[in-house]
């Protein structure tokens, strides 16, 4: 059986739809017919650069990992889902035996098999196999498109709830108003944050953030001629404090800062505006080598954390937040493409806007032979 059209990355900026064998499943696995896949920044990065850090594309690889679909086949030992169930797909299968897995941090498993991370094929195909416990049944009020959005929402849940340990009535600042940044804001709001500040260099993104989940927005000033990043960050942090009335302590202080941009100046600004004793979580990936003022980190006794994907409980909480209406993922889907136009979907996401000038937040590619309007 080989009716499995797949969107394959053959090399840098070289993609095509190919037929691949339909995966065989083990007793504890399910075969999912993929209906919707969102494009992530990492997919675009692999397309353009052929690598992300130590993850290098050395052979053709199917792209995509933000996905949902319908269970097509179940293994002999599967009891939690059945054929026909609509499921959100957590795309990382771990070993379940290592120290990280056993202590409940399976996202750090050294042997994780993660969709569209070399050399593992992704979800932009008709069929994808995964362990049955990573297929989460969708409530009736969530569409398959919503299901695909559970992956980036789980990234936000992990960063804000698990690592940021956000509590009700705390204040949050999020740098970067892309999909993950916006979802971090939405999760913070859903968990009872009293103030959610959005920071971005694109005014239209700030407008969207304010309408979506932010209580305040901040547009950084332009860099001056010959100004260093450190000098700019000092000036930017002070401007942000002055405009928004941010204090280092007390009720006007920022308890949690999350950076979803990866920009060096955002990181530098973030550690300067978070309160003394506060928490800073790095979610976005940019230049891996950045200047960080450790004097600030030490004197403010900051808690700095890196956020990598998601772990136990993050997908269920994401689904619960969406199903209850506390987080609405629908406004983030800005563009939809049929499977035959996957190349155009990536080009649009890469450029940041479609030919009609509409800005991209999240592009969704439907599975083979699935109508884009079939949610």
Radius of gyration of the chain (CA): 21
Please confirm whether the linkage preceding 297 is cis (ω < 30° from 0). Answer: no
Higher-scoring residue by pLDDT: 375, 74? 74
Helix boundaries (H) for 249-365: 264-273, 294-299, 314-323, 342-351
Does the pLDDT value for residue 144 go beyond 80?
yes
Long-range contacts of 21-26 (CB under 8 A, 24+ apart): 22/126, 22/127, 23/127, 23/128, 23/129, 24/129, 25/73, 25/74, 25/75, 25/129, 26/75
* Mean local confidence (pLDDT), 81-108: 97
What sign for the dihedral angle of Cα 88, 90, 96, 102? negative
* Prediction pTM value: 0.96
What token pair was written down for 206?
A: 């700030």
According to the model, what pLDDT value does residue 65 have?
98
* Structure confidence at residue 29 as a pLDDT band (50, 70, 90): very high
According to the model, what pLDDT value does residue 373 have?
87
What CA–CA distance (Å, rounded) separates 104 from 327?
A: 25
What CA–CA distance (Å, rounded) separates 100 from 288?
A: 24
Q: Quick one: which of 333, 322, 327, 328 has its CA closest to 373?
A: 333
Angle (nearest 5°) at CA 40 between 35 and 45: 130
Buried b or exposed e, range 51-78, using 16+ CB within 10 angstroms: ebeeeebeebbbbbbbbbbbbbbbeeeb
Does the pLDDT value for residue 295 go beyond 60?
yes
Q: Quick one: which of 348, 343, 373, 371 has its CA closest to 359?
A: 348
What token pair was written down for 139?
A: 């409530």
Does the pLDDT value for residue 1 go beyond 60?
no
* Structure confidence at residue 319 as a pLDDT band (50, 70, 90): very high
According to the model, what pLDDT value does residue 2 have?
66
Q: How many CB atoms lie within 10 A of CB 216?
A: 19
* Mean local confidence (pLDDT), 47-76: 95
Q: Are 135 and 12 in contact (CB under 8 A)?
A: no
Does the pLDDT value for residue 184 go beyond 70?
yes
What CA–CA distance (Å, rounded) separates 300 from 279?
A: 10
* Mean local confidence (pLDDT), 64-79: 98
According to the model, what pLDDT value does residue 53 have?
83
Mean residue pLDDT across the chain: 96
């Amino acid at each position: 059986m080989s009716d499995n059209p797949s969107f394959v990355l053959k090399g840098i900026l070289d993609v095509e739809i190919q037929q691949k064998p339909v995966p065989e499943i083990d007793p504890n696995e399910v075969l999912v017919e993929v209906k919707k896949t969102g494009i992530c920044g990492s997919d675009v990065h692999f397309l353009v650069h052929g690598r992300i850090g130590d993850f290098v594309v050395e052979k053709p690889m199917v792209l995509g990992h933000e996905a949902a679909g319908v269970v097509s086949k179940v293994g002999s030992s599967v009891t939690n889902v059945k054929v026909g169930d609509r499921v959100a797909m957590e795309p990382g299968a771990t070993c379940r035996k290592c120290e990280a897995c056993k202590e409940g941090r399976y996202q750090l498993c050294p042997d994780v098999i993660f969709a569209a991370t070399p050399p593992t094929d992704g979800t932009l195909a008709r069929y994808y196999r995964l362990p049955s416990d990573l297929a989460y049944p969708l409530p009736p009020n969530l569409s398959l498109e919503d299901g695909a959005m559970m992956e980036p929402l789980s990234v936000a849940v992990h960063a804000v709830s698990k690592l940021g340990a956000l509590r009700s009535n705390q204040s949050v600042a999020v740098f970067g108003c892309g999909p993950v940044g916006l979802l971090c804001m939405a999760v913070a709001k859903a968990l009872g944050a009293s103030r959610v500040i959005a920071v971005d260099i694109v005014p239209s993104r700030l407008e969207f953030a304010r309408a979506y989940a932010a209580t305040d927005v901040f547009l950084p000033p332009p860099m001056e001629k010959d100004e260093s990043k450190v000098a700019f960050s000092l000036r930017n942090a002070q401007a942000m404090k002055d405009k928004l009335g941010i204090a280092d302590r007390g009720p006007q202080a920022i308890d949690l800062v999350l950076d979803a941009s990866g920009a060096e100046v955002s990181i530098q600004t973030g550690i300067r505006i978070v309160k003394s004793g506060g928490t800073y979580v790095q979610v976005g990936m940019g230049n891996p080598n950045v200047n960080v003022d450790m004097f600030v980190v030490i004197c403010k006794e900051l808690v700095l954390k890196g956020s990598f994907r998601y772990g136990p409980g993050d997908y269920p909480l994401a689904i619960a937040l969406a199903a209850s209406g506390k987080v609405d993922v629908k406004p983030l889907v800005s563009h939809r493409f049929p499977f035959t136009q996957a190349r155009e979907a990536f080009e649009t996401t890469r450029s940041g806007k479609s030919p009609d000038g509409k800005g991209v937040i999240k592009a969704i590619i439907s599975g083979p032979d699935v109508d884009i309007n079939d949610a």
